[in-house]
Amino acid sequence: MNILLTGGAGYIGSHTCVALAQAGFHPVVLDNFSNSSPEVLARLEKILGRPVVLERGDILDTAWVEQVLRRHAPAGVMHFAGDKAVGESVAQPLKYFHNNIGGSISLLRAMASVHAAQGAWTTPALVFSSSATVYGDPASVPITEDFPRSHTNPYGHTKLVIEDMLAAVQRSAPDWRVGVLRYFNPVGAHPSGLIGEDPNGIPNNLMPYVTQVAVGRRERLSVYGSDYPTRDGTGVRDYIHVMDLAEGHVAALQHLLQAGESFTVNLGTGLGNSVLEVVRAVEQASGRPIPYQLAPRRAGDVAECYADPTRARELLGWKARRSLQDMCTDAWRWQSANPDGYRTGAA
Ligand code: NAD
Ligand code: UFG
């Protein structure tokens, strides 16, 4: 069964390719490589022992996406493609509204048109990458899916709008099945060390920054805020191993295909870890000290954010299995084998 992954060469998409292939599906990667490297495909081939089909292009090109859908007749679509840097979205909001919302509209229109013309799907099935950012500054933790949604930056705003758009499409065409997955903080890498997170420039997120300090690419970490009302004063997040997240996508797809019902679920572990706990776990995994300095809070950050993952467990039979130490060990294996990410060259 073919499954189309928009943004399939990116961090989460590439790991989901592995999980899908291992579950017996045939992933088809659609990507324009605006934030990823074609080297990912060679690495996937190495892990899986066979090539993964690539469609290189832009989801904004609706006519081309229609051709891709006709060519591969996927049983389901996983929609990862989009821009994701919060700070950049504040500086360049139109880029985010155009690519994230415009890209989603283009994909949905292509799916609708192929469905109408060919009945290619008995019922179109779509899994969408949403984010815990839709909860804004939550009133309490753990966060359940029925918490109120809000946004604090244009990136988060695009996720809210796309969730609303998907709900409207389902109201207009009840045969569509949509799984909205709200990710918490994906970190780590495939245990092979062949694929992982490879941010452009200075990492915005904690884990890649810390592993780049460990590998000697950056001098020291700035810990943003040490006066939060948390156990050690630093921010607490729900870090989830990217392979657990990838397996959550497979469970979501299987539920859409078998049970035929739409849903929205949190993908998190339900546990919170502080910045300093992550630093210590990476020190242990790498055997290297992580120099850090305490710095002021980062604008827009919340003190604590972690999921109530009950709904995903009950509905999808999925639960995160890997520990913080697994996340750090696998992140370190990837970073130390690929100090310059995919630019390091053939592994
Ligand atoms: P990523 O940047 O590594 O992957 C996104 C991929 O989409 C990239 O390969 C990029 O080249 C591709 N892409 C972007 N615009 C495209 C377009 N117009 N046409 C074709 N391809 C395009 O990001 P990721 O971390 O893998 O995130 C995947 C999705 O999950 C995103 O939608 C992101 O917003 C969401 N998400 C990520 C996180 C996180 O912490 N990584 C958290 C919550 C939600
Ligand atoms: N942090 C530091 N130093 C750094 C980077 C981060 O101390 O150099 C701290 C932050 O202040 C925060 C924690 O580490 O307390 C985690 O920060 P990340 O940037 O890794 O993750 P966020 O929770 O801030 O943001 C992530 C995604 C967003 C998404 C959000 C909610 O990057 O896209 O989760 O899902 F919106």
Q: pLDDT tens-digit profile of 86-135?
A: 999 999 999 999 999 999 999 999 999 998 887 666 678 999 999 999 99
Hey, whose CA ends up nearest to atom 21 of ligand 2? 205
Phi, psi of 177 (to 5 degrees): -115, 125
**Range from 37-46, 116-125, 191-200, 247-256 carrying the lowest mean pLDDT:** 116-125
11, 159, 301: residue to mutate for ligand 2 pocket, most atoms within 8 A of CB? 301
Ligand 2 atom nearest 295 alpha carbon: 7
145, 197, 206: residue to mutate for ligand 2 pocket, most atoms within 8 A of CB? 206
Token pair for 20: 């899908």
Q: Which of 161, 159, 122 is nearest to 256 (CA)?
A: 122
Identify which ligand lies nearest to the alpha carbon of 274: 2
Identify which ligand lies nearest to the alpha carbon of 238: 2
Q: Is 11 a catalytic residue?
A: no
Question: What is the reported pLDDT for 174?
Answer: 87
Question: What is the reported pLDDT for 119?
Answer: 65
Q: Return d(Cα 238, Cα 133) in angstroms, integer.
A: 12
Per the listing, tokens 């839709």 go with 134
Q: Which of 210, 227, 205, 208 is nearest to 291 (CA)?
A: 210
Q: Residue 215 C-alpha to ligand 2 middle, in angstroms?
A: 20
Hey, whose CA ends up nearest to atom 34 of ligand 1? 84
Mean pLDDT throughout 183-212? 97
Verify whether ligand 2 is closer than 6 Å to residue 132 (CB atom): yes
Question: What is the reported pLDDT for 315?
Answer: 98
Question: What is the reported pLDDT for 122?
Answer: 63
Verify whether ligand 1 is closer than 6 Å to residue 64 (CB atom): no
Three-state SS annotation for the chain: CEEEEECCCCHHHHHHHHHHHHCCCEEEEEECCCCCCCHHHHHHHHHHCCCCEEEECCCCCHHHHHHHHHHHCCCEEEECCCCCCHHHHHHCHHHHHHHHHHHHHHHHHHHHHHHHHHCCCCCCEEEEEEEHHHECCCCCCCECCCCCCECCCHHHHHHHHHHHHHHHHHHHCCCCEEEEEEECEEECCCCCCCCCCCCCCCCCCHHHHHHHHHCCCCCCEEEECCCCCCCCCCCEECEEEHHHHHHHHHHHHHHHHHHCCCEEEEECCCCCEEHHHHHHHHHHHHCCCCCEEEECCCCCCCCEECECCHHHHHHHCCCCCCCHHHHHHHHHHHHHHCCCHHHHCCC
Ligand 1 atom nearest 197 alpha carbon: 3
**pLDDT exceeds cutoff 80 at 171:** yes
Q: Residue 35 C-alpha to ligand 1 middle, in angstroms?
A: 8
**pLDDT exceeds cutoff 60 at 163:** yes
**pLDDT exceeds cutoff 90 at 144:** yes
Q: Active site residue: 11, 96, 135, 155, which one?
A: 155
Percent of the chain with pLDDT over 90: 93
Name the average pLDDT for the chain.
96
Question: What is the reported pLDDT for 121?
Answer: 66
Mean pLDDT throughout 36-44? 98
Q: Which of 114, 104, 94, 84 is nearest to 12 (CA)?
A: 84
- Burial class (CB within 10 angstroms; exposed 0-12, middle 13-18, buried 19+) of 5: buried
Verify whether ligand 1 is closer than 6 Å to residue 9 (CB atom): yes
Q: Return d(Cα 268, Cα 176) in angstroms, integer.
A: 26
CA distances from 254 to 120, 152, 265 (A): 18, 33, 14
Question: What is the reported pLDDT for 344?
Answer: 78
Residues contacting residue 76 through CB under 8 Å, at least 6 positions apart? 1, 3, 4, 125, 126, 127, 253, 256, 257
Question: What is the reported pLDDT for 128?
Answer: 98
Hey, whose CA ends up nearest to atom 39 of ligand 1? 186
**pLDDT exceeds cutoff 80 at 170:** yes
Verify whether ligand 1 is closer than 6 Å to residue 14 (CB atom): no
Hey, whose CA ends up nearest to atom 14 of ligand 2? 206
